[in-house]
Chains A and B, each alone.
Chain A
Amino acid sequence: MHGLRLAFNYLRIGVLNEFQYRANFYIQILQTFIALATGLIGLNLVFSQTDQLGGWSKPELLAVMGVFITMGGVIRSAIQPNMERLMEEIREGKLDFALTKPADAQLLVSVREFRFWQTVDVITGMVVMGVALAQMNWLISGWSALGFFTAIAMGAVMIYCFWLMITTTAFWFVRVHEIANLFEGLYAAGRWPIDIYPNWLRIGLTFLVPVAFAVTVPAEALTGRLTFQTWIGAFVLTIVLFTIARTIWKIGLRSYSGASA
């Protein structure tokens, strides 16, 4: 309970902070619009040559794109900024300030930043999903809807665990800045359903970088393909990843020696 209140307070501060820079809101809208337009152009180019891709029709791929945009917004508003700040603080030895506070350190470093304007992406993605669902005549069952919401929440948790694990390696390697760039490149693979990729890449995108669970699985739920086995698999993997991430974080903390502060 205390943790939730803490997270909520940081969220509020983050939002207030962003409201000081309203011009950024318009820039964000433009960026979202450009990304959406190029995504749609790519999709239309593919479907000007074929009428299905790996068993997915155009409205179904539009749903994938919607999930991709929404999840991208979640990552860039709530996950990535926190992890980048953490990286920075580990490198500069400023993490002491967070560690000495009387709250769970992992919770604290995970909620300190929130980029409110990025939620434009979250909303845009939802609109895209809505359009896709309308094109599919709203053929979505209650179970699918439930599957979708749980899958997207688990996907976000998995991406968070992935980021935390990578960031934690900064305790040993210090220079992990390029990781952000690497992640963005790999996340872009989520724009298309994971089953079109060759085997080795599919496995990598499922278990190394959980893009499959973050984007494809929720999209499967939206398009009525999600099986109960996949859902259970996602559930188990979420718990496993979270446990591993927390363990690595604890081990990493032990090798942290504040350089300044």
Chain B
Amino acid sequence: MKRYFDYYRATMKLSVLEQLQYPVANYFYMIGMIAEPVIYMVVWSAVARQQGGMVGGYTPGAFAAYYIVWTLVRNMNIVFTPYGWEWRIREGQLSMSLLRPIHPLHGDVAYFAGWKVVVILLWLPLAFILSLIFKPELDPTLLQGVVFFFAIWMAYLIRTMILSLLGMVTFWTTRVSALFELYFAAELILSGRLVPLSLMPDWVQKLAWFFPFRWAFGFPIEALVGNLSTSDLFTGLGMQLAWILFGVISVSLIWKIAIRRFSAVGG
């Protein structure tokens, strides 16, 4: 246990130091990313105003809150990509990490978790500016705040596990980009990234319940800005936990089978 703790602490510290060296690059990246929610926010605020100030239970101020929190959750959602897995497997980069006495996934989880600390720091001034411009209506209770804090980190873990699973498909075939594209499109629509799920038709909302997407994206946002009841909040955390467990178990199972197939092509 202590061994893992030390490993995580060291890797996270290293990643914080490394990322702090590139504040400008990190900022460019974040600004490019912020264009997306700002567009959604503007469009939906315009729709809300045309419909007499509210659409699907959201006022322009509520949309502003939703999409500003969106930017943080989106950043928390950045994990080692399946394209990275593809590269890692195709180029034989995995060989090196296999020699270490620790599962390579720990490295990913720790490195990106450390990066998140930097990301949150850099996000704060951006969120402040966005709030000045778009005037969000945000009034969370203490409980919502606490649930949100845990929910974004759980979201991070869910997405890490699911995307690793997706990336590990590369062990069997190297033509994976089409699969990844389909996955990201489904995620865009079913997660609450494009619009809050409450604006979707009923059947889509029901469908979204059974996929990991909304638990890694929409739920944390709604936990902070929505009117979820206390039981909804804890159900959500429960669903997140379930998806993490599912992810960890499947990743370790598939890893065991997959690793036998791995033959380094280089590296």
Report A's interface with B, CB cutoff 8 A.
23, 27, 30-31, 34, 37-38, 41-42, 45-46, 48-50, 52-54, 175, 177-179, 181-186, 188-189, 191-192, 196-198, 201
Contacts and interface: CB of A to CB of B under 8 A. Distances in A.
Contacts of A42: 194-195
Given A46-B47, A179-B28, A185 B194 contact: no
Contacts of B33: 185
B32 A49 contact: no
Contacts of B34: 185
Contacts of B38: 189, 201
Contacts of A41: 189, 194
B28 A178 contact: yes
A42 B39 CA distance: 12
Interface stretch (B83-91, B110-118, B149-157, B175-183): B175-183
Contacts of A175: 25
B50 A50 contact: yes
Contacts of B4: none
Given A50-B50, A53-B50, A185-B36, A34 B185 contact: yes
A171 to B, nearest CB: 17
B46 interface: yes
B181 A178 contact: no
A189 to B, nearest CB: 5
Given A191-B39, A196-B46, A30 B189 contact: no
A180 B84 CA distance: 19
Contacts of A54: 46
A139 B25 CA distance: 47
Given A38-B194, A181-B29, A53 B43 contact: yes
Secondary structure at chain A's binding surface: helix, strand, loop or mixed?
helix
8 contacts: A46-B43, A49-B55, A53-B50, A178-B32, A182-B28, A182-B32, A192-B39, A201-B38
A201 B33 CA distance: 16
Nearest to B39: A189
Contact of B195 (A45, A183, A188): A45
A48 B55 CA distance: 11
A196 B28 CA distance: 25
Contact of A37 (B42, B46, B175, B185): B185
A181 B185 contact: no
Given A34-B182, A50-B50, A192-B43, 6 more contacts: A27-B177, A34-B181, A42-B194, A45-B200, A185-B34, A186-B32
Nearest to B48: A49
A178 B23 CA distance: 12
Contacts of A197: 42
A184 B32 contact: yes
B142 to A, nearest CB: 33
B36 A188 contact: yes
Contacts of A196: 42-43, 46
Given A38-B185, A38-B188, A49 B47 contact: yes
Contacts of B50: 50, 52-53
Contacts of B29: 178, 181
A188 B25 contact: no
Interface in B69-104: none
A31 B181 contact: yes
Nearest to A198: B42
Contact of A181 (B28, B47, B199): B28
A5 B175 CA distance: 37
Interface in B180-214: 181-182, 185, 188-189, 194-195, 199-201
A178 B25 contact: yes
